[in-house]
Amino acid sequence: MMKPNTESDLLKLIRDFFKEKAPALKLPQELGLDAPRLRKFGDLTSHIAFKLSKELKQNPNELAKELAAYLKARIDKGPLKTRIESVNVAGAGFINFLFTKHYFYEGLSEVLRQGATYGRQNIGRDKPVLIEFVSANPTGPLSIAHARQAAVGDTLNRILSFLGFKAKKEYYLNDEGHQIDVLANSIYLRVKELKGEKIEFPEDGYQGEYIYDIAKEILKEKPDAEKEKIEFFLNYGVKSILEGITRDLKDFGVEFDFWTSQKGIRKSGKIKKALEDLKRRGFIYESEGAVWFKSTSFGDDKDRVVIKSDGTYTYLAPDIAYHREKYRRGFKWLINLWGPDHHGYINRLRASASALGHEKESISIIIVQLATIFRDGKPVVMSTRRGQLITLREILDEVGKDAARFFFLMRKTDSHLDFDLTLAKQQTPQNPVFYVQYAYARINSILKKSETELGLSGDIAKLIRRADLSLLKSEEELALSRTLLQFPLTLKFCYETIDPQGLSVYLQDLATDFHKFYDLHRVLGEDKALSLARLSLCMAVKVVLTNGLSIMGISAPSQM
């Protein structure tokens, strides 16, 4: 059975109207059918009359009235009759639609029917998308900045998968280069130090306590390790740190599909191939003894060196090769989450993708802003040099996975974020994650009690499914239903903005609507039929909370 979609049916009617009225008129892509900001403006609103009043040489209010009359007539004759209660013109030319109660009842049963799949949409049509994030150098434990990237990237992956994309997660491993050498040397020196030798530790060495831990670990296995070559310390260090990173990420609910090694890219000769490819396309030239990529052809400020005059590659060269490989692996959309220190790098990388013949839209680079950690209302000072970083591990130990993930997703990804550790571990309504989880726990508690309290015989789940939803008439019940039906739109919004933040805001709104409903209306009461209808509503809230939280990688505890 084809399910009628109210919104698209309305859009079609609007198009029909203009086709009849002005066949030559080119309609804008966006017909301006939205959820209004204020409830009293109805459930849907259109500002199309403003958009087209100029072309049609008609004032918006008149045009709106004409359109509204047309829509009203068509709605009354068609399948929308049971869903649209009224069409009104308001203000200078807004057209406001009010849904019937039936529309909400129908939506609620749909939520219950779909359950765990409610909210799924096939927007992606199996498009393969690769989300690269974290990609921290394996020179130390993951910091708070990586943690935010991990939360955003992983959730984005879950959202896109839910929306029909074939999304994969990738970690690009910078497993060679200067920083890795510094790491190896730092470990080596600490080993010597532990053996009682006097050492001079370099300014730019890794000062963190974890270097001692690795050194101790090495000495346990090899008491005379100081005699080993530097490669030994390099390999041991990278391996040990990567194990830690993987473990921390796993406890954070993040597991990558691919780990791609920079060393591997270089060894495979793919850098050379990538540069040859660019050269063939005419974007490579030599000057001042170096080899340059003509990134200015694609909007970069200046051309970039790819091979230095000493014959070695700059960092950009393997990166170009790496992204060329991503496309060659079949991905049609690349999403990169980068720290703010990389923003100057965006244009040159995008330029390389364009130079290799890829659509501009096929690569999205998202800057994940830093988070400032607060404890007891005061910012926690961090210093990389002295190894005084707040790590993902510390956050996990202090506030746990659920609160951490939720907090990292509360703000827009490209905005600064204040992370209040004290608040995050509080089990009070001021803590948004507990506020949301509390709604879930409350529903479970009610559902559990329903059987005994109502004294109904038979399968209560079945009775709830068959409840007469038309008994839900109050403002709070309808408002809650309305919010539930906005879940699919919220996910679509996250896709459009490439930002999971909208979901965390939505879940907080949903929890608020639920708590308001709960406060004013008793679910388990004298009236059995009404109780069942309200239980049905609770069930639907449970479904959406479950789906929403699971997409955020956060658990939904039935008891707290």
Partner RNA sequence: GCCCCUGUAGCUCAAUGGAUAGAGCACUAGCCUCCGGAGCUAGUGGUACAGGUUCGACUCCUGUCAGGGGCACCA
The least CB distance from residue 128 to RNA, in Å, is 27
The least CB distance from residue 38 to RNA, in Å, is 6
The least CB distance from residue 310 to RNA, in Å, is 6
Nearer to RNA (CB atom), residue 218 or residue 537: 537
What phi and psi, each to the nearest 5 degrees, are found at residue 419?
-110, 110
Taking alpha carbons only, the member of 131, 104, 107, 103 closest to residue 119 is 107
C-alpha torsion angle, residues 148, 154, 156, 161 (rounded to 10) = 180
Nearer to RNA (CB atom), residue 189 or residue 436: 436
State both tokens at 349: 């990388």
Query: Which residues have C-beta within 8 Å of that of residue 555, sequence separation ≥ 6?
Result: 401, 402, 437, 549
- Residues 6 and 81: their CA atoms lie apart, in Å, by 10
Taking alpha carbons only, the member of 472, 516, 506, 546 closest to residue 109 is 472
State both tokens at 331: 């991905």
Nearer to RNA (CB atom), residue 397 or residue 418: 418
DSSP state of 235: H
- Residues 393 and 150: their CA atoms lie apart, in Å, by 13
Nearer to RNA (CB atom), residue 51 or residue 405: 51
Geometric angle at alpha carbon 91, from 89 and 97, rounded to 5°:
35
Nearer to RNA (CB atom), residue 288 or residue 361: 288
The least CB distance from residue 222 to RNA, in Å, is 28
Nearer to RNA (CB atom), residue 114 or residue 474: 474
The least CB distance from residue 379 to RNA, in Å, is 10
Taking alpha carbons only, the member of 358, 282, 271 closest to residue 316 is 271
Nearer to RNA (CB atom), residue 8 or residue 309: 309
What phi and psi, each to the nearest 5 degrees, are found at residue 128?
-75, 125
The least CB distance from residue 108 to RNA, in Å, is 18
> Helices 230-251 and 392-408: crossing angle, nearest 10°?
40
Nearer to RNA (CB atom), residue 27 or residue 290: 290
Residue with tokens 């966006």: 30
Q: Reduce the DSSP state of residue 366 to 3 states and report it.
A: strand
Would you tell me how many other CB atoms lie within 10 Å of the CB of residue 250? 11
Taking alpha carbons only, the member of 536, 524, 558 closest to residue 456 is 524
The least CB distance from residue 506 to RNA, in Å, is 10
The least CB distance from residue 494 to RNA, in Å, is 11
- Residues 210 and 230: their CA atoms lie apart, in Å, by 18
- Residues 487 and 490: their CA atoms lie apart, in Å, by 5
Nearer to RNA (CB atom), residue 15 or residue 416: 416
Which residues sit opposite 270 in a β-bridge? none
Nearer to RNA (CB atom), residue 396 or residue 505: 505
The least CB distance from residue 250 to RNA, in Å, is 25
- Cβ 57 vs Cβ 25: under 8 Å: no
The least CB distance from residue 241 to RNA, in Å, is 15
